Structure 1
Amino acid sequence: MLRGRRNECAALDRVLDELRRGHSAVLVLRGQTGIGKSALLDYAAHAATDARVARAAGVDSEMELAFAGLHQLCGPMLDRLDRLPPPQREALDTVFGLSNGRGADRFLIGLATLSLFSEMAAEQPLVCVIDDAQWLDRASLDTLAFVARRLYAESVALILATRAPADELSGLPELVVEGLRDEDAGALLDSVVGKALDERVRDRILAETAGNPLALLELPRGLTAAELAGGFALPTAPLSGRIEASFRQRIASLPADTRQLVLAAAAEPTGDAALLWRACAGLGIDAGAAAPAEAAELFRLGARVEFFHPLVRSAVYGGATAQERRAVHGALADATDPEHDPDRRAWHRAQAAWGANEDVAAQLERSASRAHARGGLAAAAAFLERATALTADPARRTERALAAAQAEHDAGAADAATRLLAIAGLGPLNELQLARADRLRARLAFAQRRGADAPPLLMLAARRLEPLDPALARETYTEALGAALTTGQREWLEAAMQAVIAAPPPPRAVELVLTGQALAIIDSPAAALPMLRRALDAFRNETLTGEDQLRGLAYASLVALNLWDDESWHVLSTRHVALARESGALTVLPAALEMHAAYLITAGEFAGAQLELDEADALAEATRSAPLTDATLLLHGWRGDEAAARARIEAAIADAAERGEETTITLAEYAAAVLYNGLGRHDAALAAARRSSEHHPGGVYAKALIELVEAAARDRDTESAAIALERLREATGPSGTDWGLGVEARSSALLRQGAAAEACYREAVERLSRTHVRGELARAHLVYGEWLRRSRRRLDARTHLRTAHELFTAMGAAAFADRAARELLATGETARKRRVGTADELTAQEAQVARMARQGLSNPEIAARLFISPRTVQFHLHKVFGKLEISSRSQLEFVLPFD
């Protein structure tokens, strides 16, 4: 037990106890420099006698090297990589430089790290101890924070120490480490001094150190016997500065060779003792030089180099002259294997460089390319910025500054990108470079504020690029079109659309989709129809690049929906989800899942839609991003649980109104109209459908018109129904699809009488039977059956009402099923009751796991979709089986309710 740290040690003991019970635990130790965080981490590592311990520490000089911290932690685990699912294995292979694949999505890297930890813990509980997390490179910190939020039942403990609060670690269990109590601080001070102190000096030291253990250990070493005995004034510098000054005094007393050895160790933070000795050989330092530093309790030199405290490293490095630092970096560069670790060697060479050095700058450029391929965008930017500083030739310096600015923009560092653009502007810019700089300024403006200045800036850059780089010019025109669609600037929308259409070669599929959408706004939907159909055909039948598909499939799926083309919607939305999964594009996957879930809802496959929405929610939680709500609202509307649906719809409308998102309001009101039509509350449905149309950014929302016609017809507002029907025909007529013409026929029937009405009902049933939109087919049977009953054709009515009831029941559309049941009862037939679920006791995540297991997904597949480990999936299934009193996955089908 550490002196005065009973509570802190008890907290760490509780973490280890959770580990021994088969659970996972996370704890962040936060406190000022020297407060004892490192000692507490040592306590945890030594107390974990029955666990495997993996350690890493952030180092400020390594903050620019992507995944450097993760390398430290996971290096001994890499022999388990072959046990991971292929996409996860490939992601870590690339991150750790074991292969040359393209950079993986950072969330896929996080999931792969979680799986790797789980694999290690399957053999023996795993304790990961990370010191100085504030100095971890951003990529490693993001990955570990992701893992920390997903740990549950893996027998993994993650303990991090940091000096200050970090956004990445917010919300995780935290223990603030404070100064020792006066009694404990005094005892520690007395043990260090070993003799009686002047009482005034003792009180002054205790007051100024405020219970900081490192200060209590170090400060007395820097005071003379006279100062300790006579009460001379103590230094008044900030505490960390005084502690470092104490270390520097001890370093200054060492022999010259020892000081240089310790400086080399501080400059090479991997702790590789063999590398350090190779560098020392180049500096002419023999093995005996280490002994004085070890005796002074500055560092230990065994199989690895370990400093007594991170402040020793910063004191050594910060106290050296620039010339001394360059000398040890040069020796470390010479000692680093250029084949095994070319990037670290290039970084050491850069730190050793005096003035401009083209050879080193070129090496840094190559390192930037490798970092970018691994997904280390911040590292690539750092390499390029240092290369810029080492470049003497003005033209090359300008080119490297532009490349560094682009890398900083890609890494999300807008201020750094702007600063580097200014550096580039100091040099001679040719026309191509001027155009690239303009393009980057426009992209920065659009990314930072969705600014109206972005489209004209992009158009200017594209015109400059046209004679110089036609391919980049075309890409820039396309970006200008996308920006103008977002900002709604009609002038620039038309200009960008014309430029994209005119630019050779013929437009790509993604460009056709964008230009078609622009044409629909500028001219009319009918005018855009040929172009949009060409785009859908290209996405369905042409071989497209992964980037084009990822960028364009979301647009293409939306176009298919708006063109009433259910077959294309099915094909394209399914492909988008598959492509996002295969490529590990987890930032794209939520939107792809939501679009495909919306298709499944329309197709009446509520259970499948719920699975995909569960996955999208898990991803939003894992990535700490806002969840997507539109498809969830639609599902609530179709299910017909009024209380639950209204709560979600009203909350979504309030939130969207605050943010000014009209599209979400449109979808929410449409979902409300579906809900109320299902419940038979047609007055409320009419009001919601009208509001949905009013809020649609592009005009009347055609899907809401379906609800408006039915609600107005049932509410005997024939004038409103007729107007809505005419608008609906304008949307469905040009489509020529069975979906569009089927809902048009069904809506027309509601306003007709006799044989004309029956002909429309029959047409609606026939057309919709040929589509995927099972919900609309069920509604066609329902309204036809209702009409037949009112026409006193009870036997004919029963056939359609029974079909409607069966379809709605199978889907889980409770309100519509009840409506069909009431109509059946009026014909003299009783509908069969729906099966009642028995899984109310399951937690939200247990229900998610159970639903996916019922669908036949394996534990690793469920784990990948919910961003948890396979062991956590198994843990949840064990709980599910106990609560539902079953013993196997095959029994889930019989005890879980269908959504």
Structure 2
Amino acid sequence: MPIGTLRGRRRELEELDRLITGVRGGRSRVLVLRGEAGAGKTALLDHLCAAAPGLVVRAAGVESETEIAYAALQQLCSPLMTHLDRLPEPQRQALAVGFGLAAGDAPDALLVGLAVLRLLAEAAEAGEPVMCVVDDAQWLDRMSEVILTFVARRLDAEPVALVFAARTPGDEKLLTGLPELRVGGLPDADARALLGSALPGPVDERVLDRILAETRGNPLALLELPRDLTPAELAFGFGGPGEISLASRLEQSFQRRIADLPPETRTLLVAAALEPVGDVPLLWRALERLGVPPGAEAPAEAAGLVEFGARVRFRHPLVRSASWRSTEAAALRTVHRALADVIDPHQEPDRRAWHRAHAAAGPDEAVAGELERSAGRALRRGGRSAAAAFLERAAELTPDPKPRATRALAAAQAHFLAGSPARVPDLLAAAEIGPLDPLAQAGVERLRAQAAFWLNHGRDAARALVAAARRLEELDLPAARETYLSALGAALHTGRLGEDDARVVAEAARAVEPGDDAAGLLLAGLITWTLDGYQAAVGPLTRALAALDAREHLKLIWIGVPVAHELFDDEAWNRLTGQAATFARDTGVLSVLPSMLTFRAGALVIAGRLAEASELIGEAETLGRATGLVTQPSASLNLLAYRGAERPALDVMEPAERDARTREEGRLLALAAHTRAVLGNGLGRYPEALAAARQAVAYEDLGFWHWGVLELIEAAARSGATGEAAEAAEQLRRRTSAAGTKWAVGAQALADALAGPATRTEEQFRAAIEVLPADHLGMVVARTRLLFGEWLRRENRRAEARNELRIAYEAFAGMGAAGFAERAGRELTATGETVRKRGAAAREELTPQESQIARLAVAGRTNPEIGAALFLSPRTVEWHLRKVFAKLGVTSRRELAGAL
């Protein structure tokens, strides 16, 4: 790539050169260019496209289309659709329905993501590398952002590059976690030279210094701002009263230049700005209706504001926004109406409806009905955010108060399901203005409380949910039970900070007739647990768990998982979290997907599958940022604690504890204390672990208490507080004896080995190792072996100790539980054994993903089938399999089974 073609951009161009080299070499590359408006991101993208080998496809986020599902993604994929027939039927159908090319059920968002991944891979496989460039990513519609982030994280062995440009300051969470290149201002010498080329004549050196300082080397500002200023104005620099952002100044500069254009050219620019696809024939049909003659584009092109070719292209996105922001509302409506009139209602009914909506000067039932139908189509395509936007605008345009209230309520529900609970309160307020029947009014209160709970799990949410449940008792009993369940769950989440909130809610809910569905059974069990105690609740809660199926009761998993913990039911815990993560992905319910992935990650941590858990946590956090929802830190804190990552754990834990007190989330305080205890025990700092465990068990939080008790028993036993350890073991027995599961029996055996009679220590350790389910509780089993090995060493039974400690060390090291591995290694060294360092040899072990791929290959799955199961392209699967063969020293799938 020629380095010198963009002034002052050597570093950036070298990075792009490395990207192209990697893609030419057959490996995927992903990059996000971040910088303020005018920093030169688009120029860098243009340079990249000019130098890129193979096929280049481009798309851009458009501010006016942020609510239209898949708008940007469809732009990007359009040139690749010739490869659509090479996709498996489910992926082909998902993409066709998502893009509105075929009718069908709403596609799974992640299946659409896999289809896009496969489409890119097929395009690259068919010939040359594929360069995908997405400008103005800050204006991507929600679904395009989610899908493209998903694809970016899974590109690997394909000659495909995915490069984004995103504005900053702005949404810094956009595309978080992807490789970034910050695009700042030009170096001083280059900025001065560029400014000199744009100035109309000599300018005082001190004024030059001031301009350079104020523009901070921003290339577009250096080129554009001086054009509109007279020498007299330049004498005073750009300063003025008050602070104006650089983007605002640039936009104002473009607005002044647009104002100097002939009226018909200004109309042309507005129409081009509001027609984001850049469809020139459609644009000219609209301009003909507006009375704009051919040739009207010439002054705008001469001014360097726009280019007309196969498509319309603005010099900069700020020119587009300046065009329509500087136009009066009535003129904007006229242009929207002209565009709506020339759009084919059969080919693009939703874009036509959107323009008609913006053309409406006041309420218009016909347009509102059209938007409502667009919302239905958006839902069928999987675009919940788009459906919510259509319904919201439909409500605004509805003249009759009753249907207006109904549409506002529907829009609020759609926003909630789309993962945007912050949008709910205002829409519910609008719904309440219109006449609502009692059932709908109760629904409003319920949804308001649910949204408040998702945004803040504090005490207010529980109170609001109880009020809604009481209204629903006479109107919709199943809904009342489910709302009481949410209220009780909210109160339990408040925990120690909620005084007697849980008892108050449980007493109110007990007056409601019990139900035999999953929500009713859970409610009855939790009422019993709250008011009558653990032993009485085991039976009802066991029946509730048996009735709970994540595929049917996805929104009950958040309370079902803690119940599974409470009952020591590892089978239900793994069944529910596995089902929930898979089903939430399949259905693309973004309002719950981050939580479901976090629950599943928590199960994987305790199973010892830390690498897989880490992947899910990263995905959950990315989705949480995209949806604006707060993800529970439980899995990430546990992961950091088991990895022995003290500082990173504290960096997450300390703000979580502060937030917990501010938001009245006592359950998070228990979580943080439990994490400190795990970290302390793992690092062998038992007094610290004991102090933290005491805090964790100070309140009987649902699903957390027994975890804290086991940490307390270990820390107390190793700190010499044997009496405290024995008392805690007896407290635990009251629960484990009632639960009676293998997990409960094993947990009690471990507690008794640490705190019970010395004569039975060995027997209890061996019983715990034998009975604890190793597939679901691999981390607990490894810790039990570590404790048993430590005890054997203290008993001077070194040979037996070495066996247990070696197994524990290898388990922890393989899991990535560095703190516990180091502790086991120290103990193993003390027995006289040299600990094998996991250096070069460890690199030859399979990663969790490689292991998954290998086992699916052994099971007879083809590369496309493995890719579909793991959300990878077939080429990436093939690349991983080659690495597996090399690591295991085999040459074919037939040899894999034996090698594994």
- Which TM-score bucket, shorter chain as reference? 0.7 to 0.9
Pairing 1:249–2:257 present: no
2:259–2:266 Cα contact (<8 Å) kept: no
1:721-740 deviation per Cα after TM superposition (whole angstroms, max 9, x unaligned): 65345323312222344554
**1:850–1:892 contact (8 Å) kept in structure 2:** no
Q: In terms of mean alpha carbon deviation, does 364-373 or 210-219 score higher?
A: 210-219
What are the equivalent positions in structure 2 for 1:275-314 lying under 5 Å apart?
A: 275-280=282-287, 282=289, 299-314=306-321
Find the counterpart in structure 2 of residue 193 from structure 1.
none
Q: Answer yes or no: is the 8 Å Cα contact 1:346–1:360 preserved in 2.
A: yes
Answer yes or no: is the 8 Å Cα contact 2:35–2:182 preserved in 1: no
* Residue among 64, 70, 75 paired with 2:73: 70
Alignment-mate amino acid for residue 183 of structure 1: A
- The aligned residue for residue 467 of structure 2 is 460
Measured after TM superposition, the shift of residue 53 of structure 1 is: 1.0
Q: Residues 395 and 753 (structure 1 numbering): CA distance in 2 closer, same or farther, change over 3 Å?
A: closer
Distance 1:838 1:547, change over 3 A: same
Cα 1:349/1:836, change in 2 over 3 Å: same
Q: Is the CA contact (8 Å cut-off) linking 2:198 and 2:222 kept in structure 1?
A: yes
Aligned length: 850
3-state SS of 2:594 partner = coil
Match of 2:169 among 161, 165, 169: 165
| Alignment match, 2:628 | none
Task: Kindly name which structure, 1 or 2, has the bigger radius of gyration based on alpha carbons.
Answer: 1
Distance 2:437 2:42 in 1: 53
AA matched with 2:465: L
**CA–CA separation in structure 1 for the residues paired with 2:731 and 2:222:** 81
Whole-Å separation in 1 of the counterparts to 2:715 and 2:231: 90
State how far apart, in whole Å, the 1-side matches of 2:886 and 2:790 are.
45
- 1:103-182 equivalences under 5 Å are 113-122=116-125, 123-144=127-148, 147-148=151-152, 153-166=157-170, 167=172, 168=174, 172-178=180-186, 181-182=191-192
Amino acid at match of 2:100: G
The amino acid of 1:57's aligned partner reads: A
- Is residue 440 of structure 1 aligned with residue 443 of structure 2? no
Q: What residue in structure 2 maps to residue 194 of structure 1? A: none
Mark the runs of 5 or more structure 1 residues left unpaired by the alignment: 190-196, 638-642
SS of the residue 1:73 aligns to? helix
Structure 1 equivalent of residue 493 of structure 2? 486
Distance in structure 1 (CA, Å) of the matches to 2:256 and 2:673: 64
Secondary structure (helix, strand or coil) at the match of 2:734 reads helix
C-alpha change, 1:215 and 1:90, in structure 2 (3 Å) is same
- Hey, what does 1:523 align to over in structure 2? 532
1:298-697 alignment to 2 at 5 Å?
299-411=306-418, 416-488=423-495, 489=498, 493-494=502-503, 496-497=505-506, 503=512, 506-539=515-548, 544=549, 546-548=551-553, 550-553=554-557, 555-569=559-573, 571-576=575-580, 578-580=582-584, 582-583=586-587, 586-597=593-604, 601=607, 606=608, 609-610=609-610, 612-620=612-620, 623=623, 644=644, 661-665=668-672, 667-668=674-675, 671=678, 693-694=697-698, 697=701
Q: Could you say if the C-alpha distance between residues 453 and 839 of structure 1 is closer, same or farther in structure 2, counting changes exceeding 3 Å? A: same
Offset of residue 344 of structure 1: 0.6
Structure 1 letter corresponding to 2:546: D
- In the alignment, the residues of structure 2 paired with residue 776 and residue 229 of structure 1 have an alpha-carbon distance, to the nearest angstrom, of 77
CA distance in 1, matches of 2:266, 2:786: 88
Kept in 2, the 8 Å contact 1:557–1:569? The answer is yes
Q: Within 2, Cα distance between the matches of 1:230 and 1:557?
A: 67
Query: In the alignment, residue 563 of structure 1 is paired with which amino acid?
Result: L
Cross-structure match for 2:60: 57
Structure 1 counterpart of 2:274, from 267, 274, 278: 267
- CA shift at 1:526, angstroms? 1.2
Change in 2 beyond 3 A, CA 1:694/1:300? closer
Equivalent residue letter for 2:193: E
Aligned with 1:546: secondary structure? Answer: coil
**Distance in 2, Cα, partners of 1:770 & 1:127:** 46
The answer to whether the Cα contact below 8 Å between 1:29 and 1:176 also exists between their aligned partners in 2 is no
CA distance in 1, matches of 2:71, 2:165: 17
- Change beyond 3 A, Cα 1:514–1:869: farther
- Does the 8 A contact of 1:131 with 1:161 survive in 2? yes
Q: Secondary structure at the match of 1:56?
A: strand
Q: Secondary structure, in 3 states, of the residue corresponding to 2:843?
A: coil
- Summarize deviations over 1:423-461 as a string: whole Å, max 9, x none: 344444443343233333323433333232222222222
Q: 1:452 to 1:771 in 2, by over 3 A?
A: closer
The amino acid across from 1:341 in the alignment is E
Residue 6 of structure 1 and its aligned partner are, at CA, apart by: 5.7
Q: Distance in 1 between matches of 2:421 and 2:21?
A: 45
Distance 1:261 1:854, change over 3 A: closer
Give the SS at the match of 1:128.
strand
Cα distance change on mapping 1:203 and 1:37 into 2, 3 Å: farther
Comparing 517-526 and 89-98, the one that deviates more:
89-98
Secondary structure of the residue aligned to 1:591 is helix
Q: CA offsets, 1:838-864, max 9 Å, x none?
A: 6456399x8444444454467778877
Amino acid at match of 2:616: A
Please report how far the alpha carbon of residue 333 of structure 1 lies from its aligned counterpart in structure 2 after TM superposition. Answer: 1.6
Q: Which moved more, 1:111-120 or 1:766-775?
A: 766-775
SS in 2 for 1:64: coil
Q: CA deviation at 1:383?
A: 2.1
Deviations 1:638-696 (A, max 9, x none): xxxxx9588898888767656653433564466479869xx9x9999988876764475
Return closer, same or farther for 1:176/1:106 CA change in 2, 3 Å cut-off.
Answer: farther
1:379-402 CA distance string (max 9 Å, x none): 333323322332222223333333
Moved more, 149-158 or 477-486: 149-158
In the TM superposition, residue 76 of structure 1 has moved relative to its aligned partner by: 2.0
| Structure 1 residues 725-783: Cα deviation after superposition (integer angstroms, max 9, x where no partner) | 532331222234455456657866885698x9999999989977999878989999999
- For residues 707 and 322 of structure 1, do their structure 2 counterparts lie closer, same or farther at Cα, with a shift above 3 Å needed? closer
SS of the residue corresponding to residue 183 of structure 2 reads strand
Query: Which of 11, 21, 25 is the matching residue for 1:21?
Result: 25
Q: Distance in 2 between matches of 1:36 and 1:752?
A: 73
Contact kept, 8 Å, 2:768 with 2:784, in 1: the verdict is yes
| Contact kept in structure 1, 2:30 and 2:163, CA below 8 Å | yes
Q: Name which of structure 1's ranges 365-374 and 530-539 shifts more when overlaid on structure 2.
A: 365-374
Distance across 2 between alignment mates of 1:204 and 1:786? 75
Please say if residues 554 and 576 of structure 1, whose CA atoms lie closer than 8 Å, have aligned partners that are also in contact. no
Superposition RMSD in Å: 5.6
In 2, Cα distance between equivalents of 1:162 and 1:763: 58
Contact residue 19 and residue 29 of structure 2 kept, 8 A: yes
* Aligned mates of 1:263, 1:315 — CA distance in 2: 9
1:464 CA displacement: 2.3
Q: Secondary structure at the match of 1:157?
A: strand
* 1:821-877 superposed Cα distances (whole Å, 9 cap, x missing partner): 999x99xxx99x998756456399x84444444544677788778877665666667
Paired residue for 1:842? Answer: 843
Structure 1 residues 583, 367: closer, same or farther in 2, change over 3 A? closer
Secondary structure in structure 1 of the residue aligned to 2:133:
strand
CA distance in 2, matches of 1:358, 1:647: 59
Q: Closer, same or farther in 2 for the Cα pair 1:705/1:497, shift >3 Å? A: closer
Q: Distance in 2 between matches of 1:260 and 1:175?
A: 34
Distance 2:150 2:707 in 1: 39
User: Equivalent of 2:735, from 731, 734, 737?
Assistant: 731
Decide whether the 8 Å contact of 1:557 with 1:595 is kept in 2.
Answer: no
Residues 401 and 424 in structure 1, CA contact (< 8 A), matched pair in contact too: yes
Question: 1:789 and 1:164 mapped to 2: Cα distance?
Answer: 58
